[in-house]
Structure 1
Amino acid sequence: MAVVVEEKSASSPLGFLTDNALSLAISDTYANLQERRKLLGLDNPGTVDGIAREVQKDVLLSNFMFSGLRCDLQKVFSINPLFRLQHGFAMGSQALPPWQLMALYGNSSVFMQAAYSSDKSLTAWGNLRWTPQFVTKTQTSIDPRQAQTMIQIDNEYTGDDFSASVKAISPSILDGGLTGIFIGSYLQSLTPRLSVGLEGVWQRAALNSKPETAVSYCARYRGTDWIASAQYLAQGSLGASYWRKLAERVEAGADCQLQFAPGMGGAGLLGGIRREGQTTLGVKYTFGTAVYRAQVDSAGKFGVVLEKRVAAPVTVTFAAEIDQWKNTHKLGLAVSLEGAPEELEEIAQRPENQSTLPPPI
């Protein structure tokens, strides 16, 4: 008769941390919570920075308005990986340099972009996708007119029903202590339509100054063809936005920003609360080869931006803004020329290149 002796494997020295009633109860509770979250069918809500992206970054003119004359010459050398060079020329603009050279490289894991201007300033972006959910984004700006170089590092994790990020702006320990700006944010979907989040900021300009902290709260609700969002800042600021798809090619949005300054109501430091605010209304029309955007705000400004592709490699953009109260205006005209060999355009149309993961921009 054969006797089988079962030998128990030696436990880990730190096994007592997991092999106890408390840790097992926490593990079971977390597993049950994960199962319930999957049954709710929650989607990723985006990020706190993009809580109102449909209005502020797509419909309104904040990212599209410019003045003066501008010409961009682009040359695409490769599609996958993406490699592009661009020369930019500007005249009559206070925001854009007279000349700028920009290079871009990107694939499914790495994105790198650098811009060198005629004023000897250099800006570089570098993003690395560690996993499909985790991305590290960096930005460095060197300007001879500024005393300090700006460095920004952003670590962003995108889960199935939440997004979390930790951002550091110009961090330093060279002065004997920690200085800089550190921002942490978290946005969670509670239902298929409602998501809430918060953002915390810790900043310290120098060691001889006290650290400052602030916490903001935000919420986002997504309807069938509309999205509403709100954000409250601890300094006394309140922002609300509303986006709606009016038709297949028409979108509209409203953005309202309110600020409350205590003790500035007109009776000295002990006065009431001064309330300041601005409301902006915008609309976006998408045609076959053109995109038209227009907005008007409570400060008396009216602006339009028309972007039209007049030919396959040529895009013309017209921008105009009128300030009724200050009796001023701005005009802008831009021409973009993009060139790529025909074989690259054929490669871009292939199904295997269209289904690849985009660069971690």
Structure 2
Amino acid sequence: MAAVTAPAPLELGVVEEKGSSLSFLTDNAITATINETYASLAAKRKAMGLTNPGTVEGISREVQRDVLLTNHMFSGLRCDVQKLFSLNPLFRLQHGFAMGSQALPPWQLMCIYGTNRVFMQGAYSGDGSVTAWGNLRWTDRFVTKTQAQIDPRQSQTMVQFDNEYTGEDFSLSVKAITPGIMEGGLTGIFIGQYLQSITPKLALGIEGVFQRATLGTKPETAASYCARYKTDDWIASGQILAAGQVNASYWRKLTDKVEAGVDCNLQFMPGMGSAMFGGPSREGSTTLGLKYNFQASVYRAQVDSAGKLGVVLERRVAPPVTLTFAAEIDQVKNTHKLGLAVSIDGAPEELEEISQRIEPAQPPY
């Protein structure tokens, strides 16, 4: 009986000896205090009912991306022909043709593939440039985003890596743009962003930037601060950027189909005033925009303090065909821009029926 039970104390003694060699990392007063403090803060944050505030980049997304014409204005003629092969996994091919536009290439081929965890998109333009995007979702909260662009007209290739973590009441992002270590040191642009919900309606954030073009140049750093206040009917946000730039935006939902947004940008430039040794000059602009959502169309209009008036109308004339009309008039410079686009979606009949049930909640393109 003793021979059978004798090895047990010896094995337990070995396990305790192995465990005790690293126990000082977790079994100490400092670690215990940190764990208790974190658990207490997590419990208080959960009791307050805090939600995720979004990201620093999208702090004014309702105004900049949805209402205003920043991402919707174009000029010239454009035609997009899309072919949807499957929804799960998502696989789509798109041909783009443009004429009379300085921003869009004359011809472009784009391919999109996506699942719940992986998203890939590539575009090849007629001028020889190649752009690729890729997202990998490691978990439900952590995602890595990559982007690369090769342009034969430029000597350097642009590469970007973005790691984003979405918590229950905060968002953390670390971004690297064209990083390099081949010169014997770290070069490129590195951006860190953090946005935290303070109350169920208020969120505060900070952004830090580190930039170094080459090892022979002095590194540059900058810090920006932002705030976002959200209610059921309106959202206000503000940013204090480096070099004395202040940006404020206000979004309000007037009705179920009408949204309005105001964006104000103020730039302080020290030492550029008209007075001798004089004070800083102030330059600013204000933009007011409206968005109307109809059953089969979306209408956007904006006017700014510089005298520009722009409109964009998107209308689905048939299930596979969408027409887009864009116009901009500059009263001060006496110039104008006009744009007309046609988008044709092609898909098998069963996929068209599914897409028609999914897409009405989104603006038709």
TM above 0.5, one fold? yes
Unaligned runs of 5+ in 1: 352-361
The amino acid that maps onto 2:279 is G
Q: Is 2:293 the partner of 1:296? A: no
Match of 2:228 among 215, 220, 229: 220
CA distances 1:12-68 after superposition (whole Å, capped 9, x unpaired): 422102101221121111111111111111110000000000000110000000000
Q: Over alpha carbons, which structure has the higher Rg?
A: 2
Q: What residue in structure 2 maps to residue 309 of structure 1?
A: 316
Alignment equivalent of 1:284, drawn from 291, 299, 312? 291
Q: Deviations over 1:269-303 (max 9, x none)?
A: x3210111110000000000000000000011000
- Pairwise CA distance, 1:232: 0.2
User: In 1, Cα distance between the equivalents of 2:167 and 2:222?
Assistant: 25
Name the residue aligned to 1:103: 111
Question: Which of 180, 184, 197 is the equivalent residue of 1:189?
Answer: 197
Q: Distance in 1 between matches of 2:256 and 2:266?
A: 32
Secondary structure of the residue aligned to 1:336 is strand
Equivalent of 1:138 in 146, 170, 192? 146
Q: Does 1:249 align with 2:261?
A: no
- CA distance in 2 between partners of 1:36 and 1:64 (Å): 42
Map Cα deviations across residues 216-274 of structure 1 (whole Å, 9 max, x no partner).
00000012200000000121100000000000100000000111110111246x32101
Aligned to 1:169: 177
How far apart are the structure 2 equivalents of 1:69 and 1:157?
A: 40
Q: TM-score, normalised by structure 1?
A: 0.93
1:320 paired to 2:330: no
The structure 1 residue matched to 2:341, chosen from 330, 334, 338, is: 334
Matched residue, 1:24: 32
Alignment of 1:141-160 (within 5 A): 141-160=149-168
Give distance in 1, aligned partners of 2:186 and 2:76: 42
TM-score when normalising by structure 2: 0.92
The equivalent of 1:357 in structure 2 is: none
Taking only aligned residues, the RMSD between alpha carbons, in angstroms, comes to 1.8
1:78 to 86, 92, 101: 86
Deviation per CA, 1:183-237: give whole Å up to 9, x if none: 0000000110000000000001111110000000000001220000000012110
Corresponding position of 1:358:
none
Unpaired runs of 5+ residues, structure 2, are 359-365
Which of 170, 182, 198 is the aligned partner of 2:206? 198
3-state DSSP class of the match of 1:218?
strand
Q: How far, CA to CA, are the matches of 1:335 and 1:12 in structure 2?
A: 70
| % identical equivalent positions | 71
SS in 1 for 2:243: coil
Alpha-carbon distance in structure 2 between the residues aligned to 1:56 and 1:265:
30
User: The residue matched to 1:235 in structure 2 has which SS?
Assistant: helix
Structure 1's 288 and 346: CA in aligned 2 closer, same or farther, altered over 3 A?
Answer: closer
The number of residues matched between the two structures is 349
What letter is aligned with 2:283? E
Q: Does the residue aligned with 1:29 lie in a helix, a strand or coil?
A: helix
**21-30 or 161-170, larger mean C-alpha shift:** 21-30
Alignment match of 2:279 (pick from 264, 272, 283): 272
Counterpart of 1:343 in structure 2 is 350
**Change beyond 3 A, Cα 1:287–1:217:** same
Which of 43, 52, 58 aligns to 1:44? It is: 52
Q: Which amino acid aligns with 2:347?
A: A
